[in-house]
Each structure stands twice: as structure tokens, then as C-alpha cells.
Structure 1
Amino acid sequence: MRPPVNIKRRAVLPVTAMAVVVVSSNYLVQFPINDWLTWGAFTYPAAFLVTDLTNRLVGPRMARGVAMVGFALAVVLSLWLADPRIAVASGSAFLCSQLLDITVFNRLRQRVWWLPPLVASTVASVLDTTVFFSLAFAGTGLPWLTWALGDLAVKLAFAVLLVAPFRAVVSLAETRRLAGVR
């Protein structure tokens, strides 16, 4: 059964955003800032924002679909732009952490507005960082443990900072919905 056109149309923006975030992060993770950070640490947290907004505004089914399509696009494009090891590690970490984010968010959906995105992003960030850095860089001689710690610190900071844009986008969407604007 094919989904209605409006569902497909609603998925274009989050799928595109997810692919852009993941591909840019996979490219930027190849460039260290120092022994604690790579440039990818500053772009990847937006993936959790995309997932959480999709989950809140359209529901967990659409969020899972966005994660799956975003995952497929990102892995294919990352194989072209990044080392294959990074693309595989990213795909593995991405899929596990995004599905965890969606599940945690959904369980907390009825709580105070800021709790689902904050807790889901935090828990998923720990899983994502652990899986990605251990698969992408273990055994390479690179300072991957310190990169993982620095990356996780940035993700946790962004989990807090992105709560405000989450609220703003959700409020705007709800206002537009009440006004009958599509």
C-alpha cells in the first residue's frame, strides 16, 4: 500500500536534513581540531533534533522512516565522501542511536515538553558515540578515546542547547496547524 502524497511530501524536508547532517558529519569527522575533538562533533547533534522534531510533529512511524531513508542516503553518500570504515561505523551507530532516540522520546512523549528531546538525545548520544568511535577508529593509532569523550561532551551540550530550537519549531508548527496553514 502506497502512503498518501502528503506523507511523502512531509518526509522530504526531514529526510533531506538528516542526509545533509550525517554526510557532512562523516566528512568533517576526518578533520581533527585537536586530540579531543573533530569538526564532525559540531554538526552531528542536529540529527537528533531532526528525529525529535519529526517524532513530535508527525509521529514515531514517520521518524523511523526518516531515520531509515536518511541512513540509506547517508551511507551511500558517505562511502563516496569519507573512508569506508567511517561510513560503515556511522551507519551502524546512526541506525542504533536514532531508533533508540525515537523509542525513548516516544515513551516520554506525554511528559513536560523539554524532557523527551533532552533525555532521548542524551541517551542516544552515548550509544552513538560508543558505537561510532569504536568501529571507526579503534586500532588505528589515532586518539579515538579522547575524540569520543570530546564528541560526547559536545553532543551533551547540544542536547541542552537544541531544546530551545525544538520548542520554537514545535510552537510554530502548532500555530500554523491551528491557523489552518499547511
Structure 2
Amino acid sequence: MATTSTTSDHLSLSFKDHRRLAVLLSIFSAALVAANLIGSKVTVILGVSVSVGIFAYPLTFLITDIVSEVHGRKWAQNFVWGGLIAQLLVLVLILIALAMPASERFAIEAEYQEVFKQSARIIAASLTAFLVSQSLDVWVFHKIKERAKGRFLWLRNNLSTILSQLVDTMLFMYLAFWHAFPKMTTGFV
């Protein structure tokens, strides 16, 4: 990037930096919303039951690490808040859509309700897990960066992501699936 900024230097970004941040925020939000919408489906990978949202969600941690490294902690935390707002908006829109009466011509209302009620539950659980884990990711990334005096990028990326994904997965699985799959969730957590 042409201009690197400190955590308090938001106004010195070039147009190119703003455009790159907009693209990253778009990918971040799309991955987050996709993970929540598809997350109610559970599959088995190597004998472990997991949400199919695991294919989209890790992108969010990668993006906050990139933003943290290049633009600082405040920008990364702003992405977390932006993601939270995106999730809240999607949740509200889903709840409104579920509450609206269906046309007589809409033959799959029961299926629509079933799928989107699950998505609403997933998003509601994800809100808590997301805010805690992404904030933890940003915090751990910067603590390691401070202690390592800016060195060991690979260590910052991996440790912050592993720790925050573990916290996210445990919180999310418990909140999202406790009532739906109590045996699976208890065994997992």
C-alpha cells in the first residue's frame, strides 16, 4: 500500500487505500453474512460435525489481520463494528421477512420459514461469538506486535487467529446449537 497509517492517522489515506479498504470491507461483510446464512447446515469433516459456515468465516479473521497490520488496530476494530452492523441488519431483515404474510402463490412458505428461522438463530448466536472473537483477534494481534517490536508477522497472524477461532467456535457452537443438538454441542464444547 502506498500509505501506511498509524492507528490514529485515518485522514492521511490515499484514494487507493480507501478503495482497497472498501474492497476488503465488502469481502469481510459478504463472508460474514454468507457464513451466517449457510451456517445452519451441519456436515461431517474427518468424523467431526461442523457448520458449513467454516468455509466462509475464516476470511474475516484473515482480513482483520491484514487491516491490523497495514492500517492499525482502530481500523481493524472498525471492521469488527461494521460486521456487527451488517449482521444486525441482516437479522432484522430476516425477522421482518418471516413476519410478513406469504402470497397464496408462494408454495414453499413452510420451507422458507424453516430455513430462515434457522438462519436467524445462527445470526443471533454469531453476533456474540463474532464480537468477542474478532475483538480478541485484533487485541492479541497487536499485543504480539508490540512485544515482538513489529517482527514475526506469521506468528501474530497464526496465534491471534487460532486463539480467536477457538473462542469463536466454542461460543458459537454452544449458542447456536445447544437446543437443536444438545448432545453434539455438549460433546463438542
Instruction: Give the TM-score taking structure 1 as reference length.
Output: 0.71
Give, in whole Å, the separation in 2 of the partners of 1:65 and 1:125.
Answer: 19
Give, in whole Å, the separation in 2 of the partners of 1:22 and 1:37.
Answer: 16
Q: Tell me if the contact between 1:96 and 1:128 (Cα under 8 Å) persists in the aligned partners.
A: yes
1:54 aligns with 2:64: no
Which residue identity does 1:89 align to in structure 2? A
- CA deviation string 1:160-181 (max 9, x = no partner): xxxxxxxxxxxxxxxxxxxxxx
Give, in whole Å, the separation in 1 of the partners of 2:91 and 2:185.
Answer: 20
SS of residue in 2 equivalent to 1:111: coil
Structure 1: runs of 5+ lacking an equivalent: 150-182
1:93 alignment counterpart: 129
1:144 alignment counterpart: 185
1:131 alignment counterpart: 171
Higher helix residue share: 1
1:175 alignment counterpart: none
Higher strand residue share: 2
1:18 alignment counterpart: 28
Aligned length: 146
Q: Which 10-residue stretch deviates more, 100-109 or 32-41?
A: 32-41
Structure 2: runs of 5+ lacking an equivalent: 1-9, 95-115
- Asked which structure has the greater RCO (Cα within 8 Å, sep 6+), the reply is 1
2:108 alignment counterpart: none
2:79 alignment counterpart: 66
- CA deviation string 1:33-79 (max 9, x = no partner): 23612211122111100110010111111000011012211232255
Give, in whole Å, the separation in 2 of the partners of 1:78 and 1:67.
Answer: 16
Instruction: Give the TM-score taking structure 2 as reference length.
Output: 0.68
Q: Tell me if the contact between 1:51 and 1:102 (Cα under 8 Å) persists in the aligned partners.
A: yes
1:107 aligns with 2:143: yes
RMSD of aligned C-alpha atoms? 2.3
